[in-house]
Structure formats: C-alpha cells, structure tokens
C-alpha cells in the first residue's frame, strides 16, 4: 500500500461523494421545503439512469460528440424533473398535512409503482450506457491510471453545490426556498404562492436526482434495484448532514465517500456497515445531524390508539375468532393452513409494531430487523448449536430482544424523522451483516433445513402450535397496552411536556416498549423460519419493514385489532393476485397510496367510524 494507491483511493472516494451529494442535495432541498422524506427520490435517480442510458446512445448516433453527450444527460435530468412535478401534483400535494408515517408510506408506494413501470418501459435487462466522448482515455496520476470521467464527476459535485448556492442566494425562488425551510407557516402567512413554490422545489429536487442517476451511466449499467440502494445512502447523507441543509449534505457526502473508499481496505465486505455506523454515531452525538435544527413542535400530529368504550361483544368476537382458528384444520386443506399459518405470523409481527407506532408514537421504519433477528437467531442456533425448535425459538426471541435493547438505547434519544431514519439504518446494518458474513449466515443463500421438531411438523400441528403462540403473545401485548405501562406510552405520545410534568420517564418507557416489541417480532420471525424451513437476508430488508407498516395501515393504526385484520387482508390479497399478474408491486403501491389518500383510518377504523356515525 503506497502513496499513489492511497491517492487513487481518495480520488475514488471523492467521485462517489460527488455523485452521492448531487442526489442527496435534491432530497434535502425537498425535505427542507415540504417536510416530506421522499422515498421515491431513489426511484427518480433510477429513472434518470434508465432514461440517460436509453436516450444518450440514440442522440450520439445522430451526432457524435461531447456536446451531444452532455446535452443528453441534461435532457434526462429535465425529464426526471418533470416526473417529479407530476408526483408533486398528483400525490405529495395531498399529504403535506398528513402524519409523517403516512408520508413515508405513500412515497414508498411510489417506489413500488416505479419499480414495475421501469421494467415495463425499459425492459427487464440492465442497460449499459455509452462512455463519454472525449473522456475515454484514462489519465495517469502518480504512475497509476485513473478514469478521466471520474475526474469530471469529482468536479461535478462542487459545481452543483455552487450552482445551488447561487440559486438559493441570488434568486427570488431561492429566497423563498430558504424561508420555507426555516418557517413554512410564516411563508404561508405572507401570501407566497405555495403551490408554485412546492412544485418548483420538487422539480429542482427531482432534476438533481435525475442528474445524479444520469451521470452514472458510463460507470454502471442502469438496473432495477438502484433505487433502494441509493435511497439508503442518500438518507444517510441527508440525516448526517442535517435534514434540509445543503452544506451539511455536502460535508456528509465527502465523509461518507472517503469512508467507503478506505473502509473497503479495512472491512472488505462491510462498507454498508461502516456507512450506517457513521450515521448511528453522529445521531447519538448530534440528534439533528451536523447542521440540522430541531423540528418545530406542533407540526405533524402523532396519531394512534385512543381510549374507547369496550364493545360488549369484544369477548364474544375474540372467542369466535379463536374458535374459527381452532376449527380451520377440520375444514381447510393443507394449502389453506399454510396461508393461515403465515397470516398468523405476520399478524403477530404487525401487532408488535403497533405497540411502537399506534401506542408509543415511535415510528419505526426498520422493524424487519427484529423479525429477521428472531428468524436468524432460531436458524443459527439450530444450525450451529443443534438446538431443537423448543430452544431455538426462545433463542431467536432473545436475540431479537437483545438487538432491540441495544438499538432502542440509541433510538429513544431521537424523535420524528430522525428516529425513523435511525431505525431504518439499524435494520440496514443487520441486513448487511446477514448478507456479507457468508461464513456464518450463508450470505445471500441464507440457511436452509430449519424444520420444526417432530411433534410440531406437518401442516396441522404446526398451524395449531403457531395459533397457540400467536394468541398468547397477542393477548399479552393487549394486556400491556391496557396496563399502566401502555397508558404511560400513550401519555408520552400525546404530550411529552405533560408526561414529564407528571413524573413519567419517557425514554425509559419507550426503551422498554422497543425491547418488548422487538421480542414479539422476534417470536414471529422464529415461527416464520420454521414455517418455511429457511431464512435469508430478505427477511431483514426494507420491503419486509414496509410490509408490516402496510398491514398496520390497511387495518388502521388507531385500532388495537387493526394490524391483525391488515395482516390477513394483505396476505390474502398477495396470495390471490400475485400469481395472476407480473405487476404485483405496482398494484401494492397503488393500494398503499389509495389507503393513505382515501382511507387513512384503515379498514377497522373506517368500519368503526361508520358504526359511530350511525349511533
């Protein structure tokens, strides 16, 4: 390892920092003005890459030269900017006042829609873009060859920073953007045309995302999956820099670029871990990132479970549900039992999340971490210590609880969107460990042969076993929600100031809630591992977290029974529709968006609302 090698690594770090900054800058601007964390920002980046990889070669056929190449890149970015405008007008405009959980989920709905649309429009193949004319030959730096295109990228970051700075300082639009970032309500009170300002900001943000994506085409081929990988990194950059801060994003991108370039030398397999660890450390020390400010109180309102009169039929309904569950093996075939088993498991998973979101107002976006830890805990203790299922399930539960205890210690110090991002980061770290620590976890392939003990194997026994465990766990959790502990969590959610003034130790309560919730999710994960016979890293991924959130949303986060209904609904829907169409994600995305826009109270909440209106 000599000096020239280090220099080249540093340059590599700078060029990836530039790309990252250009994309993250758009995300942070959009957040600053609209207060929406736009999950679809990564999708815009992906569209930028696809568009450029398709458009630029055609333009180069017409007229070969650097001007054509750069004009094509710019045109792609503008197209993406217009798509951003479309998203603002059709969706974001309707959810500016919604709770942040709904905003996150709605934009994730867009992610799902775009994933399928991108494949429809651009085809399933990766598209390799052309190399930039005039920049094909590498340059020599300290005796080593270095791609000249990377040097252009290195320059692109500061150029974009400069242009954005000029835009923000020297134009009326920029003044409004800065003002709105500081105080959105004041801007509204001053009679500024907000619709135009927000649409304009979305254009700018989407343009930057598209530019970031388009600039990648000579380096990497445009492919499905770019969206989630870049959005995770862009989140880290904006959060570390401070949400809404452009200089913060630049600084954070520089640090992360170098960390990735040199982290690869120290931990060859775990650059993801290093990046997310940085975020965890920064948030632990500065809860609002480098240049972020505390979010103004009184913005988005926490929504969740409220006290309601106990229905006189509640006990009867519960008995009827359990009775139906018990009699299912008599009427259902093996396939139906398999589906029912999975529904039960996901119901527990979603219900454990309800303790955090509906009861505590803690919006966790990485709940899959504990589901996955439970599954891996069970599978690993089976594989490495040859424990039977009876011991492996508790082991999984304990691992998940321990993970939740550790992560919760960081998380409960944060609030709002930073908290959501921290949970997301934690889940991604664990995902990266499971994915990259191949020797122990089996990497991408996961672990197979996770079968239940003899007495519980077979569709009927395992179903009944699951039914029993899930019923007990859900009843316990309900008990907790109605106990003083659950009320204390709701108290802290409703009013932190009041909760403190009556002596409640909010952080400690939330920490315990986080741990209990993690343990319950871990039990669900362990059961899932045994029901499928295998585990793999996808159990820890963002889509699994979003599944749980979607179930909660479908059922209704203001109701205790909502997640159970939501789990059943989503699972049956998926089971019935996924085989029929290749556009399942598109459909799911549209369902999520529709629920946020039309039925924000979910199925159970809406039905109950009808009942209350009638009486």
Partner 1 sequence: MTLLSVQGLSKSFGGVAAARDVSFLLERGELLAIIGPNGAGKSTVFNMVGGQLRPDHGAVLLDGQNITAASPQKRFRLGVGRTFQVAQTFLSMSVVENVQMALVSCNGESSALWAPARTRHREEALALLEQVGMADVADRPCSALAYGDVKRVELAIALAGQPKLLLMDEPTAGMAARERADLMDLTARIADAKSIGVLFTEHDMDVVFGHAERVIVLVRGRIIAAGSPEEIRQNEEVRRAYLGDEHALEKPKGLSPA
Of positions 137, 307, 331, 386, contacts partner 1 by CB under 8 A: 307
Which CB, 253 or 512, lies closer to partner 1? 512
Q: How many residues bind partner 1 (CB under 8 A)?
A: 29
Take residue 118 and report the two structure tokens written for it: 């991108």
Check residue 537 and report its DSSP letter.
Answer: G
- The region that residue 291 occupies, defined by phi over 0 for left and psi between -120 and 50 for alpha, beta otherwise, is alpha
Torsion angle (degrees, nearest 10) of CA 578, 534, 526, 370 = -70
Between the alpha carbon of residue 299 and those of residues 197, 211, 430, the distances in Å are: 19, 32, 32
**Please, which of residues 499-518 interact with partner 1 by CB under 8 A?**
499-505, 509, 512
> In the complex, what is the shortest distance from the CB of residue 352 to partner 1, in angstroms, rounded to a whole number?
15
Binding track, positions 261-300, relative to partner 1; x by CB under 8 A: ----------------------------------------
494 scored as a contact of partner 1 (CB under 8 A): yes
304 binds partner 1 (CB under 8 A): yes
Give min distance, CB of 68 to partner 1, in A. Answer: 54
Q: How far is the CB of 231 from partner 1 (least distance, A)?
A: 33
Q: What is the 3-state secondary structure (H, E, C) of 283-351?
A: HHHCCCCCCCCCCCCCCCCCCCCCCCCCCCCHHHHHHHHHHHHHHHHHHCCHHHHHHHHHHHHHHHHHH
Segment contacting partner 1 by CB under 8 A, of 204-212, 304-312, 527-535, 570-578: 304-312
Least distance from C-beta 82 to partner 1, angstroms?
42
Does residue 484 interact with partner 1 by CB under 8 A? yes
Q: How far is CA 206 from CA 44, 87, 162, 338, 612, in A?
A: 6, 10, 18, 43, 43
Residue 284 beta carbon to partner 1: minimum distance, rounded to whole angstroms? 20
List 140's β-bridge partners, or say none.
145
Binding segment toward partner 1, per CB under 8 A, in 283-291, 302-310, 530-538, 543-551: 302-310
Q: Does 495 bind partner 1 (CB under 8 A)?
A: yes
DSSP 127: B
In SS3 terms, 432-492 reads as HHHHHCHHHHCHHHCEECCCCCHHHCCHHHHHHHHHHHHHHHHHHHHHHHHCHHHHHHHHH
Residue 182 sits in the site that holds partner 1 (CB under 8 A):
no
The single residue among 293, 385, 498, 572 that binds partner 1, judged by CB under 8 A, is 498
- Where does this chain touch partner 1 (CB under 8 A) — which range of 141-149, 230-238, 286-294, 482-490? 482-490
Residues in the chain: 615
DSSP 3-state assignment of 535?
A: strand
The encoded tokens of residue 525 equal: 């994960």
Q: How far is the CB of 503 from partner 1 (least distance, A)?
A: 4
Single out the residue of 82, 220, 265, 483 in contact with partner 1 (rule: CB under 8 A): 483
Phi, psi of 428, rounded to the nearest 5 degrees: -70, -35
Single residue of 3, 137, 497, 598 touching partner 1 by CB under 8 A:
497
Q: Which residues bind partner 1 (CB under 8 A)?
A: 304-307, 479-480, 482-488, 490-491, 493-495, 497-505, 509, 512
């Amino acid at each position: 390892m000599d000096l020239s090698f280090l220099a080249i690594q540093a340059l590599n770090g700078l060029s990836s920092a530039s790309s990252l900054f250009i994309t993250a800058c758009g995300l942070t601007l959009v957040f600053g003005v609209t207060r929406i964390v736009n999950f679809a920002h990564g999708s815009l980046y992906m569209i930028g890459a696809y568009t450029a990889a398709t458009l630029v070669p055609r333009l180069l056929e017409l007229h070969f030269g650097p001007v054509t190449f750069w004009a094509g890149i710019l045109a792609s970015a503008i197209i993406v900017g217009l798509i951003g405008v479309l998203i603002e007008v059709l969706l974001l405009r309707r959810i500016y006042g919604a709770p942040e959980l709904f905003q996150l989920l709605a934009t994730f709905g867009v992610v799902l829609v775009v994933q399928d649309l991108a494949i429809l429009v651009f085809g399933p193949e990766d598209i390799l873009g052309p190399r930039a004319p005039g920049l094909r030959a590498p340059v020599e730096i300290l005796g080593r060859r270095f791609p000249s295109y990377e040097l252009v990228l290195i320059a692109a970051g500061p150029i974009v920073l400069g242009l954005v700075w000029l835009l923000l300082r020297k134009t009326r639009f920029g003044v409004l953007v800065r003002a709105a970032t500081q105080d959105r309500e004041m801007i509204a009170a001053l009679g500024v045309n907000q619709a135009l300002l927000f649409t304009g900001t979305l254009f700018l943000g989407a343009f930057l995302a598209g530019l970031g994506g388009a600039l990648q085409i000579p380096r990497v081929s445009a492919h499905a999956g770019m969206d989630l990988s870049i959005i995770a990194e862009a989140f880290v950059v904006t959060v570390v820099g401070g949400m809404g801060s452009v200089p913060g994003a630049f600084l954070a991108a520089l640090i992360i670029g170098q960390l990735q370039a040199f982290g690869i030398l120290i931990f060859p397999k775990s650059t993801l871990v290093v990046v997310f660890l940085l975020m965890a450390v920064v948030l632990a020390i500065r809860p609002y990132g480098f240049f972020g400010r505390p979010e103004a109180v009184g913005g988005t309102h926490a929504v969740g479970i409220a006290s309601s009169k106990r229905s006189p039929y509640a006990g009867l309904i519960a008995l009827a549900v359990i009775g139906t569950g018990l009699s299912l093996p008599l009427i259902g075939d093996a396939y139906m039992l398999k589906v029912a088993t999975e529904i039960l498991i996901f119901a527990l998973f979603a219900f454990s999340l309800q303790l955090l979101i509906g009861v505590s107002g803690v919006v966790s976006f990485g709940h899959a971490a504990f589901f996955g830890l439970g599954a891996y805990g069970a599978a690993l203790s089976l594989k490495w210590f040859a424990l039977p299922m009876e011991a492996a399930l508790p082991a999984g539960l304990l691992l998940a609880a321990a993970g939740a205890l550790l992560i919760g210690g960081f998380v409960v110090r944060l609030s709002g969107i930073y908290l959501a991002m921290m949970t997301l980061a934690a889940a991604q770290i664990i995902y990266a460990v499971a994915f990259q620590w191949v020797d122990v976890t089996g990497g991408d392939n996961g672990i197979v042969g996770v079968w239940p003990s003899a007495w519980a194997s077979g569709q009927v026994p395992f179903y009944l076993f699951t039914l029993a465990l899930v019923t007990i766990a859900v009843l316990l959790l309900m008990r907790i929600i109605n106990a003083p502990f659950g009320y204390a969590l709701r108290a802290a959610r409703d009013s932190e100031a009041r909760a403190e003034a009556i002596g409640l130790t909010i952080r400690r309560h939330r920490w315990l809630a986080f741990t209990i919730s993690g343990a319950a999710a871990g039990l669900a994960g362990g059961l899932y591992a045994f029901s499928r016979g295998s585990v793999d890293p996808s159990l820890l991924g963002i889509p699994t977290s979003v599944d749980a959130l979607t179930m909660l949303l479908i059922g209704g986060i203001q109701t205790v029974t909502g997640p159970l209904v939501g789990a059943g609904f989503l699972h049956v829907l998926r089971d019935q529709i996924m085989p029929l169409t290749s556009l399942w994600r598109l459909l799911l995305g549209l369902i999520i968006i529709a629920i946020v826009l039309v039925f924000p109270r979910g199925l159970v909440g809406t039905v109950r609302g009808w009942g209350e209106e009638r009486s």
